[in-house]
Structure 1
Amino acid sequence: MDNDKILHKLQILADAAKYDVSCASSGSTRKNGNNGLGNGVASGICHSFTEDGRCISLFKILMTNSCIYDCAYCVNRRTNDRPRATFTTDEIVELTIGFYRRNYIEGLFLSSGIIKNADYTMESMVLVAKKLRTEERYNGYIHLKAIPGASQELVHEAGIWADRLSVNIEIPTEMNLQRLAPEKNYNGILLPMNQIKNEILQSKEERKRYRKSQRFAPAGQSTQLIVGATPETDRQIILLSSGLYKAQNLKRVYFSGYLPVNNYDKRLPALTRPPLVRENRLYQSDWLMRFYHFKAEEILTEDQPFLDLDIDPKLGYALRNMHLFPVDINRADYEMILRVPGIGVRSAQKIILARRHRNLNFMHLKKIGVVMKRAQYFITSNELPVSTKDWEPARLKRVLVTQSTTKNRKTLDTQLSLFANFKPALPPLH
């Protein structure tokens, strides 16, 4: 390979790939054979951080940043005047194996702009995964982007070679998708999502009967929603996410704060920076739905369609529903304990187990791991007479926000003092 040429392509296409966040580190177990390279581990793999602060664990690359589409929000739209590059199949295979052997990466995330048409692009990406599996005997993690509009045969083959597939919805409502990306539509996006869901379920059923039957996308599928490019409310986004989890059995819905890369397009909002706090609050809401048994309708209401950026959505739920608190920690059921701010899933499970043997008090809860500075306002027991009934929601919010701000400031001051007091060891004299 011409190293200078490959490095130039790598700089262009790795940078272009950072806008797609719907990638995961693992989720499947793919055992290594006697002569294979690497393996997939369900528990996850190590992570690193990019210059813009995003956590990655994969060789995240585009096959090309050339594209026949002209999506208003995309940096790679065909009307943008920017450097273009395209990797060949062999180049991506060689880079992946080379990086893996050097322990730079633990998996591959491959996406692409649309070259010529959807089938041509999907076929090129599938060929990369197939060569890695069959010729290089690579057993590590592979995540492929499924291209809307590609044939069912190619999507099927992608699921045979890859651990995870993803189809990006991008814009939360079809009306705004049509406005910003006229070449795309929800029907074209949902067709491959439905196919992937059905084939995953079919594969699981077949493996119950025949242990050696071929797996299809064993790490499932995911999608991405862009936040802030269009005027949808947080409630609309959360309801859509909840519906996708139920209808498509998705592993993850990823949220990407809109990056203002095409400010000249008047269809886009005049943002100066991505809405990262809003993105974080949406991830917290997603966490509540997946692990805390919250329904989307509980997190936000029609009267309050946007998340409060000053507090996390669990605390926001508690402040809106003061009539449900305080919770008797020794008698409440598991579902209600999960709704107490300051109590996580593991702490709630430990509480259920521990109270079988004794009534829990302040010290017990603290040892379990409950964040008492927050939880004390929402629970009650013999030793905890404080009640939310004694507090107005607005006042309680101010108290908790002040505590959080003070804690963050102390953490920052501690970190700065450590740097200020740091004295490097002198080199030995020779």
Structure 2
Amino acid sequence: MNFDRIKEKLEILADAAKYDVSCSSSGVKKTNKNKGLGDSSGMGICHSYTEDGRCVSLLKILLTNYCIYDCAYCVSRLSNDIKRAAFTVQEVVDLTINFYRRNYIEGLFLSSGIFKDADYTMERLVLIAKKLRTEHNFNGYIHLKSIPGASDELMQEAGLYADRLSINLELPTESGLKLLAPDKNREDMIKPMEFVKNGIIQYKDERKIIRSTPKFAPAGQSTQVIVGATNETDLQIIKTADSFYKGFNLKRVYYSGYVPIVSNDTRLPGLESKVPMVRENRLYQADWLMRFYGFKAHEILDDTMPFLDLEVDPKLGWALRNQHLFPVNIQTADYAMILRIPGIGVKSAWKIVQARKFSVLNAEHLKKIGVSYNKAKYFIVCGHDYSELKYLNSSHLKEVILSKTTSKYQEHYNQQLKLF
């Protein structure tokens, strides 16, 4: 094995994989000093989180950054003048096993540019997972990117060897896809997603009868959309996510802010049009409201307000638009309504429902439970302190909350400065 060449490929293909945010990524670099045990260059290592909250380290790479498509927004597009590389199937298998044995990683996140055609590429991704499982008895986490247009037979195999499958929607709307990636069509993306959804349901049903039935994509499937490459509103993005959650039982939708590139392509936003990080954050918060807080897409945004407020989180934004529903009595309100109070999370809401059986809750109780009381106090009746409710029907409630929050953080910042 030519280690210098493998290292060069790893640098190129790990860097190209960073644009896929379908697993959370944070690099780490630790150099071996004083003859210590092992080191980590950080190349290709990302951190993802399991459903039960555990952090796992994954080798995150592309099989290749060669691609037959010329999607305007993609760094690996056919017309882009970049350094190209491709791993062989065996090279990816060996890298995964060697990284795993050195305790650098606990699994593999594998995607790829499309070379030749969809089946040719998907076949190699599946073969890597199959070799790891059957030849090396690898029980670590495997996340495979499904290739749009891949056959049902290959998707069937992929689901049997991978823990999670995902296929990128690329852009939130079909019109956006036709504009920037005219060689692709949404149907090629939807067909594998439909197959995986049905496969998960079928295998789960069969396992209820025959326990030896293998698991099929046990960690489910996810997708990713690019935000800001085309002019879709946050409302359109949220509606798209909501429809795919409902239609395909997705585990996650990931939102990736478009990174402007030097290009003469007039279809793309200019270099000054970088999507602010806070917009990504607000979309994830809105997504969280739909998945865990019982909100519908039309409650978060509508035609009169198609973009999320970047100054406040979506739940606070909803509360400010629906002040007539507040204040909420913490002692008597149902769980669903408590979930909608700004500053109260899923765990805190459950604790409130349990704790109020034994006591009349006051501000100190809520703080100990984990409620963000400085935000919640404007919307609740709690104990005998109603002083903050005087602001509730004010048109300036948003400014009141922001000023109080800002001053709180400024005070904390000033205290930290005194320590130095």
Q: TM-score by structure 2 length?
A: 0.90
- In 2, distance between residues paired with 1:304 and 1:41? 34
Secondary structure of the residue aligned to 1:193 is helix
- In 2, distance between residues paired with 1:176 and 1:378? 40
Contact 2:378 2:391 survives alignment (8 Å): no
Letter of the 1:397 partner, please give it. K
Instruction: Indicate the larger mover: 63-72 or 290-299.
Output: 290-299
What does the per-residue CA deviation read over 1:304-343, in whole Å, with 9 as the maximum and x for residues that have no partner? Answer: 1100001100100000000001101111111111111111
- In 1, distance between residues paired with 2:85 and 2:228? 29
- In 1, distance between residues paired with 2:190 and 2:413? 45
What does the per-residue CA deviation read over 1:250-300, in whole Å, with 9 as the maximum and x for residues that have no partner? Answer: 000000011112433210111433431100000001111111111111111
Letter of the 2:333 partner, please give it. A
Secondary structure of the residue aligned to 2:396 is helix
Contact 2:363 2:383 survives alignment (8 Å): no
Q: Which residue of 1 aligns with 2:229?
A: 229
Q: Which residue of 1 aligns with 2:179?
A: 179
Change (3 A) 1:42 1:173: closer
| 1:383 and 2:392 matched | no
| 1:323 and 2:332 matched | no
Change (3 A) 1:142 1:24: farther
- In 1, distance between residues paired with 2:203 and 2:338? 37
Contact 1:66 1:86 survives alignment (8 Å): yes
Contact 1:343 1:371 survives alignment (8 Å): yes
Instruction: Indicate the larger mover: 406-415 or 305-314.
Output: 406-415
Contact 2:223 2:254 survives alignment (8 Å): yes
Q: Which residue of 1 aligns with 2:132?
A: 132
Change (3 A) 1:42 1:328: closer
Alignment of 1:76-95 (within 5 A): 76-95=76-95
Contact 2:323 2:392 survives alignment (8 Å): no
Q: Which residue of 2 aligns with 1:249?
A: 249
Letter of the 1:115 partner, please give it. F
Shift of 1:167: 0.8
Alignment of 1:111-126 (within 5 A): 111-126=111-126
What does the per-residue CA deviation read over 1:223-272, in whole Å, with 9 as the maximum and x for residues that have no partner? Answer: 00111111111111111111111110000000001111243321011143
- In 2, distance between residues paired with 1:224 and 1:178? 17
Change (3 A) 1:219 1:327: same
> Given the alignment, which residue of 51, 55, 69 partners 1:46?
55
Two-structure CA RMSD over aligned residues (Å)? 1.9
What does the per-residue CA deviation read over 1:387-415, in whole Å, with 9 as the maximum and x for residues that have no partner? Answer: 64644555221122233334444555566
Contact 1:342 1:372 survives alignment (8 Å): yes
Contact 2:391 2:397 survives alignment (8 Å): no
Shift of 1:24: 6.4
Query: Percent of aligned positions with the same letter in both sequences?
Result: 61
Secondary structure of the residue aligned to 2:308 is coil
- In 2, distance between residues paired with 1:9 and 1:408? 45
| 1:352 and 2:353 matched | yes
Change (3 A) 1:373 1:42: closer
Q: Which residue of 1 aligns with 2:208?
A: 208
Q: Which residue of 2 aligns with 1:36?
A: none
Change (3 A) 1:335 1:225: same
| 1:372 and 2:381 matched | no
Contact 2:129 2:142 survives alignment (8 Å): yes
- In 1, distance between residues paired with 2:228 and 2:278? 11
Letter of the 1:370 partner, please give it. V
Instruction: Indicate the larger mover: 278-287 or 372-381.
Output: 372-381
Contact 1:380 1:386 survives alignment (8 Å): no
Q: Which residue of 1 aligns with 2:308?
A: 307
Shift of 1:358: 2.4
Alignment of 1:152-163 (within 5 A): 152-163=152-163
Secondary structure of the residue aligned to 2:223 is strand
Letter of the 2:163 partner, please give it. D
Count residues in correspondence: 396
Shift of 1:155: 0.8
Secondary structure of the residue aligned to 2:387 is coil
Letter of the 1:229 partner, please give it. A
What does the per-residue CA deviation read over 1:19-62, in whole Å, with 9 as the maximum and x for residues that have no partner? Answer: 0011269xxxxxxxxxxxxxx97635435xxxxxxxxx311100
Contact 2:261 2:271 survives alignment (8 Å): no
Letter of the 1:251 partner, please give it. K
- In 2, distance between residues paired with 1:154 and 1:229? 31
Letter of the 1:81 partner, please give it. D
Q: Which residue of 2 aligns with 1:22?
A: 22
Alignment of 1:401-420 (within 5 A): 401-410=402-411
Secondary structure of the residue aligned to 2:55 is coil
- In 2, distance between residues paired with 1:102 and 1:414? 43
What does the per-residue CA deviation read over 1:166-202, in whole Å, with 9 as the maximum and x for residues that have no partner? Answer: 0110101101101100111111110000000000000
Contact 2:331 2:361 survives alignment (8 Å): yes
Secondary structure of the residue aligned to 1:58 is strand
Contact 1:148 1:192 survives alignment (8 Å): yes
Contact 1:59 1:109 survives alignment (8 Å): yes
Instruction: Indicate the larger mover: 197-206 or 258-267.
Output: 258-267
Letter of the 2:321 partner, please give it. R
Change (3 A) 1:357 1:21: same
Secondary structure of the residue aligned to 1:115 is coil
Contact 2:68 2:114 survives alignment (8 Å): yes
Shift of 1:417: 6.2
Instruction: Indicate the larger mover: 400-409 or 1-10.
Output: 400-409
Secondary structure of the residue aligned to 1:213 is coil
- In 2, distance between residues paired with 1:211 and 1:265? 55
- In 2, distance between residues paired with 1:149 and 1:415? 55
Unaligned stretches of 5+ residues in structure 2:
26-48
